[in-house]
Chains A and B, each alone.
Chain A
């Protein structure tokens, strides 16, 4: 028994210092993997804990994720309680001091973005509300700018040797990104003022960015699936406002939106929500290209 422990301890110490070459990053959502690769280039090795087809609220703390947490130099997540059901378990079971909250290895994107919809009251009868505000910041590309700046700075803290690279990558990204945002806004001009229904309150940042108007979510409370009778009631209420489409994330159960689509005779816009949420949204740019393309298609 003693010798086994000694051997195990020795092995642990040996491996602890290794693998400093690249920053190994575990992101909670694929959009941060894409952003980390843009900013870090060859100096980072980023993998996402989730795919674009998985609900980031409810991920299981799978053994493979614990192993990845163990190996990570850095964890990049949305924060604002989006991952509250699984990230704490990974952090605890991953037994990795480099990525605990408060260390340079822990990064929450929502901290550098002003969050919308911070609830006035915290009560679960209001559904699964997030105390800090709506965490789905990646649906507005403008939010990528402050996150990119903060993330780049954090990279430098972990890998000072790469400071120049990170700086150059950030500058290039910012220039390209601002032009891209202008392009998207021009393309999406027709969406201004368009009234929409949403499945979950996932789209507040997108809707704000493009000047659309959210009439109501299909969920009676955040995180609670709508019943048919609730949907019928909702349809009566929103008829007068003439919603033009229903916004749904690729990973969401589509029965509620299908019902509403049939009964209100409006299309469902199944949007990628994040990188990997659709075949076209394989990159960060592709995410917004495809989102706007799908919105415009639903409008016509």
Chain B
């Protein structure tokens, strides 16, 4: 605007300054000037047009910017709304169906007054390990993967990895499928699993309250029975917890052996009941029975041979207490099992039919968050042996094996634990053994869920 105004004024000024008496030469000069002016006007017009274009462009850009700002604000608002709306479904990818994987790491430091390498339990052939090792050693590391198979089954796979001298032992701890949706409170399990007999048997070692298993478990179940089999349980529709279960297993594992009865060498049946007493106390109790056949079972370094039947009866009681039923700060746990072991068969060529008894009782008290103390008492009484087996592994020489164990535990978080344990062990034929164990246990991966 101002540009075109000024050029108009200049043009007017020029025209008015032209004298009326101008000569032809002057006229020519004037025409030339007019041409120049016209030229300039054209140039000005072009410049004006250019400026106007630029202005329009700038305005358009400004509008675009405003629009963008408005859009951004709207988006932000939408985002804010989205933030309070449910999260979008996770993107699908090949590994989004990976099972929950968890690992357990376990290491120990042992000190024993008697050489654990020569350990023998008075009156019993050992199907599993003894009390541990001197110095630093590794407990079983475990690797578990589990997930739902489909709408009907879940599956679980657990490897155990142990270091035995310079060798690494890979064991199949569990590999089973279990139904998720059978009606009527039924549940079926198939594969290799920890048997549900007793209380402690269905737990993995690392979930125990002590660094080793009770003597009765060591003597009668090789620290715990796991075998290939099928299990059916039924949970009664009652207000009080009541579960019945039965298992048929291959019979490959101690106290059975050799997959007797055409690979159906072990059977069990059990019943469990439990409830709350008020809000602070809860309990679980149960009775189980296991029947096994051994077909050429060898135990020990100069092997003892056994062919025959073993049946084990177990009664258990677990009582837990916590103020207000809130175990996080303080809690108390009492646990006891009584076992009856009956063997009827041929041991190193001699017929033997006898009954042994074993029991343990333990108390654990968490006196403040992260800290627990515990005490356990163990007892086993071996039955008599025929004269022909005097002095054999089955002969306890009248010894009643006992053991007292105390432990102190520091749980830094739900996932790590440090435990110091002392046992006064009188389970060998002669003398007493002072046993110290320092142990760490750590859980990595998927959050563990604990059974009662």
A interface residue numbers (CB < 8 A to B): 1, 5, 8-9, 11-13, 15-16, 51, 53-55, 57-58, 60-64, 66-67, 70-71, 81, 84-89, 92-97, 100, 102, 111-115, 124, 127-128, 132, 221, 223-225, 251, 253, 255
Query: Which residues from A are CB-within-8-Å of B369?
Result: 225, 253
Question: Which B318-373 residues have C-beta < 8 A from chain A?
Answer: 320, 324-329, 368-370
Interface residues on B, range: 35 or more
B133 at the interface (CB under 8 A from A): no
Query: Which residues from A are CB-within-8-Å of B236?
Result: 11
9-residue interface stretch from B106-114, B180-188, B205-213 = B180-188
Whether the Cβ atoms of B452 and A8 lie closer than 8 Å is no
B61 at the interface (CB under 8 A from A): no
Query: Which residues from B are CB-within-8-Å of A53?
Result: 324-326
Whether the Cβ atoms of A128 and B184 lie closer than 8 Å is no
Whether the Cβ atoms of B184 and A16 lie closer than 8 Å is yes
Whether the Cβ atoms of B86 and A112 lie closer than 8 Å is yes
Name the distance in Å between A27's Cβ and chain B's nearest Cβ: 16
Q: A9-B234, A16-B184 are in contact. List 5 more A-B contacts (CB 8 A).
A: A15-B184, A62-B282, A71-B239, A96-B185, A114-B86
**Which residue from chain B places its CB closest to the CB of A150 in the assembled complex?**
B86
B3 at the interface (CB under 8 A from A): no
Question: Which B78-93 residues have C-beta < 8 A from chain A?
Answer: 83-87
Whether the Cβ atoms of B325 and A223 lie closer than 8 Å is no
Contact of B235 (CB < 8 Å), options: A1, A87, A95, A111: A95
Contact of A62 (CB < 8 Å), options: B274, B415, B447, B449: B274
Q: 1/0 per residue B410-447: CB within 8 Å of A?
A: 00111100000000000000000000000000001001
- Pairs A-B, 8 closest by C-beta atoms: A63-B274, A12-B184, A63-B241, A97-B181, A53-B324, A114-B84, A67-B241, A15-B237
**Which residue from chain B places its CB closest to the CB of A131 in the assembled complex?**
B447
CA distance A94 to B181 in the complex (A): 10
Name the distance in Å between B443's Cβ and chain A's nearest Cβ: 9
Question: Which B143-190 residues have C-beta < 8 A from chain A?
Answer: 151, 154, 178, 180-187
Whether the Cβ atoms of B235 and A55 lie closer than 8 Å is no
Question: Which B206-252 residues have C-beta < 8 A from chain A?
Answer: 232-244, 246
Whether the Cβ atoms of B413 and A86 lie closer than 8 Å is no
CA distance A55 to B273 in the complex (A): 25
Name the distance in Å between A262's Cβ and chain B's nearest Cβ: 18
B451 at the interface (CB under 8 A from A): yes
Whether the Cβ atoms of A61 and B234 lie closer than 8 Å is no
B304 at the interface (CB under 8 A from A): no
Contact of A85 (CB < 8 Å), options: B87, B275, B329, B448: B448
Number of A-B contacts (CB under 8 A): 156
Whether the Cβ atoms of B415 and A100 lie closer than 8 Å is no
**Which residue from chain B places its CB closest to the CB of A53 in the assembled complex?**
B324
Whether the Cβ atoms of A128 and B234 lie closer than 8 Å is no
Query: Which residues from A are CB-within-8-Å of B235?
Result: 66-67, 70, 93-95
With A71-B237, A92-B154 known as contacts, the answer to whether A61 contacts B328 (CB < 8 A) is no
**Which residue from chain A places its CB closest to the CB of B369 in the assembled complex?**
A225
6 contacts between A and B (CB under 8 A): A12-B186, A13-B183, A15-B237, A63-B283, A85-B448, A95-B182
Name the distance in Å between B272's Cβ and chain A's nearest Cβ: 8
Question: Which B390-427 residues have C-beta < 8 A from chain A?
Answer: 412-415
Query: Which residues from A are CB-within-8-Å of B184?
Result: 9, 12-13, 15-16
Question: Which B86-145 residues have C-beta < 8 A from chain A?
Answer: 86-87
Query: Which residues from B are CB-within-8-Å of A223?
Result: 413-414
Whether the Cβ atoms of B83 and A114 lie closer than 8 Å is yes
Name the distance in Å between B38's Cβ and chain A's nearest Cβ: 71
**Which residue from chain B places its CB closest to the CB of A52 in the assembled complex?**
B324
Whether the Cβ atoms of B324 and A64 lie closer than 8 Å is no
Question: Which B58-85 residues have C-beta < 8 A from chain A?
Answer: 83-85
Query: Which residues from A are CB-within-8-Å of B324?
Result: 51, 53-54, 251
Name the distance in Å between A147's Cβ and chain B's nearest Cβ: 11
Query: Which residues from B are CB-within-8-Å of A132?
Result: 87
B284 at the interface (CB under 8 A from A): yes
Query: Which residues from B are CB-within-8-Å of A58?
Result: 327-328, 414
CA distance A213 to B370 in the complex (A): 30
Whether the Cβ atoms of A54 and B326 lie closer than 8 Å is yes
B450 at the interface (CB under 8 A from A): yes
